[in-house]
Amino acid sequence: MEISVTVNGVKHTAEVEGRTLLVHFVREQLGMTGTNIGCDTSSCGACSVHLDGEAVKSCTILAVQADGTEITTIEGMAGADGTLHPMQQAFMENHGLQCGYCTPGMVMAATSLLKENPNPTEEDVRLGLEGNLCRCTGYHNIVQSVLAAAKA
């Protein structure tokens, strides 16, 4: 069926199968591969994008369910001139990544968290990122990054 989705401010109209997952639509049909697939079982959060401003796991949403919505992916976070989003900047400055595989999902989940809770405690950040797994950092610097971005 035909869907129409605004991704990073650009409207896309496309034909998808009912079973096409949002993450495959974004990566394969739109060619935006910043959104990663980690577990593919709704657990790791690597595939997190914003749907109408809220973090969701795009491996567990059908593209048809996103019809008519606004999606933001990691590609939509930096400014048009390449200026990093404050969350991306904070991850860079606080060494919030090692291999970087979880990072797009972390950034999307963390920005959604700050929207709901602009002044989180460390505990709030840890709980707020419970849906995102990182196999490298031990989380410490990710949490520091998010706290730094909240102050930025």
Partner 1 sequence: MIPAAFDYARASSAEEAIALIGQYGDEAKFLAGGHSLLPLMKLRLAQPTVLVDIGRVPDLSYIREEGDQIAIGALTRHMDVETSPLLHQHVPLLAHAAGHVGDPQVRHRGTIGGSIAHADPASDLPATTLALGATYVAKGPNGTREIAAADFYHGFLTSALEADEMLVEIRVPKMNGAGWSFQKFNRRAQDWAIVGVAAWRRNGDAGVALVNMGSVPILATDVASAASSRIGSAIRRVTNWLDTSLAAAQADPQPDLNASADYRVHLAKVLTRRALEAASA
Task: Give the contacts of 31 (CB within 8 A, at least 6 positions apart).
Answer: none
Nearest to 42 by CA among 58, 54, 21: 58
Q: Do 87 and 115 form a contact (C-beta atoms < 8 A)?
A: no
DSSP conformation class of 65: G
Q: Do 36 and 104 form a contact (C-beta atoms < 8 A)?
A: yes
* Residue 23: CB minimum distance to ligand FAD, A: 14
Q: Compute the distance between CA of residue 1 and CA of residue 14 in angstroms, rounded to an integer.
A: 8
Annotate each residue in 30-69 with x if it binds ligand FAD (CB under 6 A) or - if it does not, as one string: ------------xx----------------x---------
Single out the segment in contact with ligand FES by CB under 6 A; choices: 40-48, 85-93, 108-116, 120-128. Answer: 40-48
- The answer to whether residue 138 forms part of the interface with ligand FES (CB under 6 A) is no
Task: Give the contacts of 9 (CB within 8 A, at least 6 positions apart).
Answer: 76
Binding site for ligand FES (CB under 6 A): 37-40, 42-47, 57, 59, 97-102, 134-137
Binding site for ligand FAD (CB under 6 A): 42-43, 60
Binding site for partner 1 (CB under 8 A): 1, 17-21, 24, 40-43, 45, 48, 51, 54-57, 60-62, 64-65, 109, 112-113, 116, 127-128, 130-132
